[in-house]
Amino acid sequence: MIYFAKPSISKLEIKNINKVLKTGILTDGYFQNKTSELIKNKINSNFVALTQSCTDGLELAASLINLKKGDEVIMPSFTFTSTANAVVLKGANPVFVDINPGDLNINVDKVEKLITKKTKAIFVVHYGGNCIDLKKILKLKKKYKLFLIEDAAHSFLSKYKKKFAGTIGDIGVFSFHETKNLVAGQGGAISVNNRKLIKRANYLLDKGTDRIDFLKNYKKQFISEKIKSKKKYYSWVDTGSEYRASELSSALIYSQIQRYKKIYSARRKIWKKYFNYLRKLNNKNIQLLTNNKESKNVYHLFAFKVKNYKLARKLRIFLQEKKIPATFHYVPLHSSKFGKKFKRGEMKVTQQIWKKLIRLPLYPDLKENEVNKTLILIKKFFKKN
């Protein structure tokens, strides 16, 4: 069985990991600071902090906008549990919305009718590396005075028009999990674009303390008793948790960002080969996903739809037996055991599509003969079915 996803690791990553180990500083060090600043400048954000995961970023976002019991947050049902968990952990309720059949992003035309006096925010998900068209969402945000959170776990460095995903709403979050385009092992980042939230973001990141106001030089690792301030000690000022990424994770993602053009180029080449081959098959049972014309795709995954569930399952089994790890994606949250209890809109598209989805292996080191084998097998399957 070939890999479904596999990180691209070079000598640079190993070199920088060794640097961290030699310093003996494994938290809050050089690479954490350096990488946060690198991402901040690269995506033109007002504030960026590395986190231990994208899940952490989402939970931070929920805290920053002060979600509380009874609040409602609109989001797609077709997303990972972390998007909804961040809301539920605050006692608030996710309100699920259907997706577009073309790009599997939230159907913006169905959002407004679900907005109530309890609605506090909209969580959008930029699915598969392709940004959602945010024009209507931004109008709704302004009209109803809502927070907009971008779950860009799939879409680091993708763009909507001229802006990077994660910098358009009040807050954006990214994933650097080992299955993503760029990896930190287990890591993520939060981009805070609403300046009113930045000061508190640092407190939440530092376990609810104002330590950052006192300890700005990571090399010292202590607060001088000679500090020239009326307040000489940091203390507990808010809620918070252990959110910040370790130095090892930070060094890894720093190295990956240095190499992102090569990594993204390789992903694009494979994605294009899949897409062009399947399009030329012109088979009525294959339905390719579409890209938002206003979006710059970063090719996080390659997925397509099959005409019906029975055929899709048969294809997945066929490919897996040939050692190709083809798979579906999310079980919709609204239909899950825990998600059924929450208010939702109609989910006709989500319900029809999720079982018919096929995702194919996609990573920089995927060999050309492995890609060719996958495509030939798909062609062979549809000739017989």
CA 8-359-308 angle, 5° bins: 175
Cβ contact 104:126 at 8 Å: no
Give long-range contacts, CB 8 A cutoff, 24+ apart: 40-43.
Answer: 40/191, 42/157, 42/164, 42/257, 43/157, 43/164, 43/166, 43/167, 43/191
What predicted TM-score, i.e. pTM, was given to this entire model?
A: 0.95
**pLDDT at 345 exceeding the cut of 90:** no
How far apart are alpha carbons 321 and 310 in whole angstroms?
A: 17
CA 79-84-90 angle, 5° bins: 165
- Cβ-count burial of 353 within 10 angstroms (0-12 exposed, 13-18 middle, 19+ buried)? buried
How far apart are alpha carbons 263 and 259 in whole angstroms?
A: 6
Q: Which two tokens stand for residue 315?
A: 């294809």
- Cβ-count burial of 1 within 10 angstroms (0-12 exposed, 13-18 middle, 19+ buried)? exposed
Upper half-sphere CA count for residue 192 (Cβ side, 13 Å): 25
Which of 125-129, 206-210, 230-234 is predicted least confidently?
230-234
Instruction: Report the share of the chain in percent with pLDDT over 90.
Output: 90
What pLDDT sits at residue 229? Answer: 60
What pLDDT sits at residue 211? Answer: 85
Which DSSP state fits 294? T
Using pLDDT thresholds of 50, 70 and 90, give the confidence band for residue 374: very high
Three state DSSP letters for 121-174: EEEEECHHHCCCCCHHHHHHHHHHCCEEEEECCCCCCCEECCEECCCCCCEEEE
How far apart are alpha carbons 146 and 65 in whole angstroms?
A: 10
Picking from 190, 169, 186, the residue whose alpha carbon sits closest to that of residue 177 is 186
What pLDDT sits at residue 51? Answer: 98
Q: Which two tokens stand for residue 327?
A: 């798979």
How far apart are alpha carbons 71 and 117 in whole angstroms?
A: 9
What pLDDT sits at residue 213? Answer: 78
Q: Which residue has the higher pLDDT, 298 or 232?
A: 298
- Cβ-count burial of 147 within 10 angstroms (0-12 exposed, 13-18 middle, 19+ buried)? buried
How far apart are alpha carbons 243 and 206 in whole angstroms?
A: 7
What pLDDT sits at residue 256? Answer: 98
**pLDDT at 216 exceeding the cut of 80:** no
Using pLDDT thresholds of 50, 70 and 90, give the confidence band for residue 343: confident
Q: In whole numbers, what is the pLDDT of the chain averaged over residues? A: 94
